[in-house]
Amino acid sequence: MSVITNTPAGPPEGVLGQPAESRKAAPATGLPATFDDGTEHRHSLGLLTADGTTDGGGSADSPVPALPAGADLRVVPARHPWRWVGTALVTLLVAGIAYSLATNPRWEWGVVAQWFTAQSVVNGLLETLKLTVIAGTLGFVLGFVLALMRLSASPLLVGVAWTFSWIFRSTPLLVQLLLWYNLGYLYEKISLGIPFTDVRFFEASTTTLISQFAAAVLGLSLNQAAYSAEIIRGGILSVDAGQLEAAAALGIPAWRRNTRIVLPQAMRAILPNAFNEIIGLVKGTSVVYVLAYSELFYTVQVIYNRTQQVLPLLLVATLWYVVITSVLSVAQYYIERHYSRGSVRNLPPTPWQRIRANLAPGRRPAHSAAPNPTTASPAAPQAAGQEITRKDLP
């Protein structure tokens, strides 16, 4: 980066003994036509070379003398030696890990390929996805209700919501799953009717209702709701209260204020943490193996207990979890990009746009910063003492 400083006009006497009339201002910029050593400045933003020409253009009405020895202007790129050292070390580390994975026969990649798409493994994967979708949906819906309760003016609603989050965030998920699965020991029957009377509309055995799947859904959903409530509450509180006051002053109904003004802005703060919770929920479904429910991890356990191929089967489960979380990460990127339209001037380029920009010569990614007022219009006059920065020089 080279910087050309527009210094204030000097005294009537010229620099280095030159007459004052020899110093002419460059047109359209206000920059002096000569440097302090008497060398002519042929272009307002160009660079003088050793042969007297400029790299930025300018008129050729008269020859320009070469710069004195040692006074040539050169753009020297910044050097980052430690960046190259770090890149080399990381490259060696990654190459070593890849070589170990490819050459160590104990990974048994053939066994991994054999079981990766086996029907039993795929069925366990589908059960994992089913638990994730159901528990995630119920957890975030209930968490949204709890967040609104925490923000309400009713002390009872605030107390109930706070107590719920406190209890379910204070106990391990494994304990909650076992408690729901053994609920029949505490209550033999579950009934629905009018409290404190003998009127019953529905009644069934607890062990019949609370199956392995129901216990897994209850445990995962309620645990997820406790964390989701705090995430949603924090996102709502991040929205400036002045916007709500302005919307209320305009007569916008409360429902539209919350759905059209608060929530779209709160989503920018909610989404990153919400997707972290969903990714954690995908991996958290592996805990339900204690209920002998045939999700992915339990299915893999059953297989390697029979075949004694522990590491390859664990690698099969690991790869499937990586695939699921990778898909969720891609979805997170595009959803966050959608909701960032109100906070950034230009949307960041997608990975596909970056690839096309890198492959096409002379093209840049779609995202570009706002124009610099000092470089957007080179012909605009600059005030005395103002610096002109050329960041786009080769």
H helices then E strands: how many in the chain? 14, 4
pLDDT tens sequence across 80-110: 899 999 999 999 999 999 999 999 998 899 9
Cα 11 to chain centroid distance, Å, stands at: 56
Q: What is the pLDDT of residue 73?
A: 74
Cα torsion angle, 227, 230, 235, 238, sign = negative
pLDDT for residue 189: 85
pLDDT value at residue 100: 92
Structure tokens at 51: 């042969």
**Chain CA centroid to CA 270, Å:** 12
Sign of the C-alpha dihedral, residues 278, 284, 285, 288?
A: negative
Nearest CA among 54, 79, 73 for reference residue 4 = 73
The DSSP bridge pattern shows strands 200-205 and 387-390 to be unpaired
Q: pLDDT tens per residue, the chain (394 residues)?
A: 444 444 444 444 444 444 444 444 444 444 444 444 444 444 444 444 445 454 444 444 555 555 566 566 778 888 889 999 999 999 999 999 999 999 999 889 999 999 999 999 999 999 999 999 999 999 999 999 999 999 988 999 999 999 999 999 999 999 999 999 999 888 888 888 888 787 788 888 888 888 899 999 999 999 999 999 999 999 988 888 888 888 888 888 888 888 888 888 888 889 999 999 999 999 999 999 999 899 999 999 999 999 989 999 999 999 999 999 999 999 998 888 888 776 777 777 777 888 888 887 655 544 444 444 444 444 444 444 444 444 444 4
Query: What is the DSSP code string of 86-135?
Result: HHHHHHHHHHHHHHHHHH-GGG-HHHHHHHHT-HHHHHHHHHHHHHHHHH
Q: Which amino acid is at 92?
A: L
Tell me the pLDDT tens digit for each residue of 238-271: 888 888 888 888 888 888 888 888 888 888 889 9
Phi, psi of 237 (to 5 degrees): -70, -20
CA torsion, ordered 137, 139, 142, 147, to nearest 10 deg: -120
Instruction: Give the pLDDT of residue 1.
Output: 43
Residue 152's closest CA among 141, 161, 165? 161
Reading the block at residue 133, the tokens are 């979708």
Tell me 361's DSSP state.
T
**Two tokens at 8?**
């204030």
DSSP letters spanning 245-257: HHHHHTT--HHHH
